[in-house]
Structure 1
Amino acid sequence: MNFLKRKNKKGNKIIFYYDYGRKKGQRPTTGIFIYTKPKNQTEKNHNKQSLSLIELKKSQLTIEKQAVGTAFIPQHKFKANFLDYYTDYVKQHQRKGNRHLQNSLTQFKAFMGKDFVAPIEISENLCKRFRRYLLDKYTGETPSDYYSRFKWVLAAATVDGYYLQNPTEKVSAKSNPSTKLKEFLEVEEYLDLIKTPCLNAEVQEAFIFCCYTGLRWVDVFTLSWEQLNRSVLTTRIIQAKTGLPVTLTLHPIAKLILEKRKRLLDNRDNKKALVFRLPSADGANKILLQWIKATAINKHITWSCARLSFSILLQDKLVDDATVAYLLGHATTEQVRKTYKRHRPKDQTTTISNLPSPELLPYFLNI
């Protein structure tokens, strides 16, 4: 490992840099400098200590290079608290819009219930218990997503020499499919809902807007006029849950709702004003429940059912998974295939009638 040194623009300091190569970003600063012409004893002492620190770093890097391929971890690299290692890993590998890695750390801390976890405590048995903790706490793909990120961290720690064998190697990630199927709205129920009055017009319009755009509660709750461009049929907003953009293709009903909301706004010139002034999520769902009871819809409908209904009704019209995923703001079709799909037939009688007709029954009886 080499170190470079260069003078600053004023020429009064020499700054030291790591030298990993000649490509962009391969010569980061060490943060260490010396004075070119020390003016007093303080600056002379600074230079002496800085040069000693550079020699120490050279020694540390040499030891790191020699330790590659062995189980030895240089003391300056070893973190006695595994939570510190986990935290550093999250900082280095976190991607914008992907919350699973950070959440896996949060859940592991909650599982352990303490601020210090020695690496030796992470055993195969502890990994199994952490997996069970996630499965007991969450449904769907969430337990698998969080535990998979935990496995990433343990794999990296094994490579870094913390373990001779990865403690999670034989403990695979598992999902936890929900035993309760979420309800959704059929076409006729969409129409019934639109025609039925609601005690809170903004809750009514916001829910219908979600049915026609696939937005989540968290997105419609924070939706502002600044995010919308009503001069075109589509608009892009940033999803609150993922941090990723989603393109809304506005159905005529969705556009009519926006036009009505715009007319009713007192502060029409305030672009940061919210499109819908809604109560809390709990309050909105209670109003939604009362509204559903006033219809002929005999289902348990919550706000999240709007997004599911949006996806299912598009798929009923043979819209491909990739397009539905795009409209929902997903980067892949995985969630559409696993979650946002029809899980029960609309009309079993109509479906069964596609089999050979009843007029064939006499032939059967005469056999």
Structure 2
Amino acid sequence: MNGKRSHIRAFEFLKIYLHQNPKDAGERKKNKENRKLAEDILSIRQSNYIQGKFEIKNISKTKRQFLDFFTEKMEEKSNSVKNYGVWQSAYLHLKNCINPNFLFDEVDENFVKKVKQYFEAEARTKSNLPLSQNSKYSYSNKFKASLGSAFDDGNISINLAARVKAFEQAKSQREYLTFEELQALVNTDCKYQVLKTAFIFSCLVGLRWSEINTLVWVEVRDEGENLFRVNFRQEKIDGVEHLNISKQARDLLGNRKSFKDRVFIGR
């Protein structure tokens, strides 16, 4: 204190010792080896400090494959079905435009621009249609998130995520079907019957696709001759909702199967 600058230093004890008064050639050799070992450790610590201070890449991390890293970050989201699904979809698209052997030391602004251009003009849905504006927005955000994590983890020395201009999110417009339109849908043949059944069930009970998609039989309760209920968890409120459904909606589900089986299989 007293106007003087104080320095806080951290000490690391290596438990490497020197013979104070070496008695023979063996002890002198051991001193030399231990001194060399301590100097090597010091060099490593100094190198790590300089890398952090001047944003120098960690060489071992720059040799990681980008898609492997993205997969790792994707798996961290597996506890959230909806979020994990978006990461999976983004990954499937990234595989189309990024070589599996592409390393972090090749990541630069041109790479980032190339990926954004892919989402903008080249990416296609399973139906071979261009991505919707909201899909571009969602997938590119997962890509940006992976770049941010790569910077935080030391795989890249520049936060390229901050240099990626995000896609604009389209303003959502809620659509609805009239009774006549829904009736016409019921009477229309569909190549994928399970998809048609799931959609009609969704219309009758008012559940979102994410809730329909993960619905299992233990959540479907037959509690009386005309009393049927669906119990499901809402991620937004992190709670269980109880929804009474009509006999017509219950009949769409067919015969009950094992508790843990999904209700709609093969979508």
TM-score, normalization by structure 1: 0.42
Deviation of 1:228 after TM superposition, in Å, equals 0.8
Match of 2:53 in 1: 69
Q: Pick from 177, 184, 189 the counterpart of residue 185 of structure 1.
A: 177
Residue number in structure 2 paired with 1:236? 231
Q: How many angstroms does 1:230 deviate by?
A: 3.4
Give the number of equivalent residue pairs: 210
Where does 1:161-176 land on structure 2 (aligned, <5 Å)? Answer: 161-175=154-168
Query: How far off its partner does 1:122 sit?
Result: 2.5
- For residues 205-216 of structure 1, the aligned pairs below 5 Å read 207-215=199-207
1:249 aligns with 2:243: yes
2:102 to 117, 135, 160: 117
Q: Which residue of the partner structure matches residue 134 of structure 2? A: 141
Q: Cα distance, 1:183 vs. partner?
A: 5.4
Structure 2 counterparts to residues 59-138 of structure 1, below 5 A:
62=45, 66=49, 67-92=51-76, 95-97=79-81, 98-99=83-84, 100-112=86-98, 114-136=99-121, 137=123, 138=131
Distance 1:69 1:122 in 2: 21
Identity over aligned residues, as a percent?
A: 21
The reply on whether 1:153 has 2:153 as its aligned counterpart is: no
Structure 1 residue 152: Cα displacement: 2.0
* Distance in 2 separating the partners of 1:197 and 1:146: 33
260 and 171 in structure 1: CA distance in 2 versus 1, 3 angstrom threshold: closer
Deviation at 1:210, TM superposition (A): 2.0
| Cα 1:193/1:111, change in 2 over 3 Å | same
The 3-state SS of whatever aligns with 2:231 is: strand
SS in 2 for 1:229: strand
Distance in 2 separating the partners of 1:84 and 1:211: 39
Cα deviation 1:279-316 (Å, max 9, x = unaligned): x76xxxxxxxxxxxxxxxxxxxxxxxxxxxxxxxxxxx
- Segments of 4+ in structure 1 off by > 6 A? 58-61, 202-205, 273-278
Distance 1:274 1:228 in 2: 11
The change in CA–CA distance for 1:164 and 1:206 in structure 2 (over 3 A counts) is closer
CA RMSD of the aligned region, Å? 4.8
TM-score when normalising by structure 2: 0.54
Check the 8 A contact 2:67/2:100 in 1, yes or no: yes
List alignment gaps of at least 5 residues for structure 1. 4-54, 282-367
Shift of 1:168: 3.9
CA distance in 1 between partners of 2:262 and 2:156 (Å)? 54
Provide the C-alpha distance between the structure 1 equivalents of 2:91 and 2:112, rounded to a whole number of angstroms.
13
Q: CA deviation at 1:225?
A: 4.2
Superimposed CA distance per residue, residues 293-347 of structure 1 (whole angstroms, 9 cap, x where no aligned partner): xxxxxxxxxxxxxxxxxxxxxxxxxxxxxxxxxxxxxxxxxxxxxxxxxxxxxxx
Q: Following TM superposition, by how much is the alpha carbon of 1:162 offset from its aligned partner in structure 2, in angstroms? A: 4.5
In the superposition, relative to structure 1, how do residues 92 and 62 fare at CA in structure 2: closer, same or farther (>3 Å)?
A: farther
Tell me, yes or no, if the aligned pair for 1:82 and 1:118 is still in contact at 8 Å: yes
Equivalent residue runs for 1:275-294 within 5 Å: none
Distance 1:199 1:172, change over 3 A: closer
Q: Is the 8 A contact 1:151 1:168 kept in 2?
A: yes
Say which SS state the counterpart of residue 160 (structure 2) adopts. coil
Matched to 1:157, the amino acid is: A
Counterpart residue type for residue 130 of structure 1: V
> Which of 58-67 and 125-134 deviates more?
58-67
Q: Which amino acid aligns with 1:149?
A: K
Q: 3-state SS of the aligned residue for 1:141? A: helix
From the superposition, tell whether residues 133 and 218 of structure 1 become closer, same or farther in structure 2 (CA, over 3 Å). Answer: same
In 2, the alpha carbon distance for the partners of 1:168 and 1:273 equals: 40
Secondary structure of 1:235's counterpart equals: strand
Change (3 A) 1:160 1:87: same
1:104 CA displacement: 3.0
Residue 256 of structure 1 deviates from its aligned partner by 2.0
Contact residue 151 and residue 159 of structure 2 kept, 8 A: yes
Residue ranges of structure 2 left out of the alignment (5+ in a row):
1-10, 14-37, 124-130
Secondary structure (helix, strand or coil) at the match of 1:72 reads: coil
Q: In the TM superposition, what is the alpha-carbon distance from 1:172 to its structure 2 partner? A: 1.3
- Structure 1 residues 225 and 80, CA, compared in 2 at 3 Å: closer, same or farther? closer
Give the conservation status (yes or no) of the 8 Å contact 2:61–2:154.
no
- Distance in 1 between residues matched to 2:44 and 2:90, nearest whole Å: 31
**1:309-348 → structure 2 map (5 Å cutoff):** none
| CA gap 1:129/1:245 in 2 versus in 1, 3 angstroms | farther
Q: Give the Cα separation in 2 of the matches to 1:82 and 1:225.
A: 39
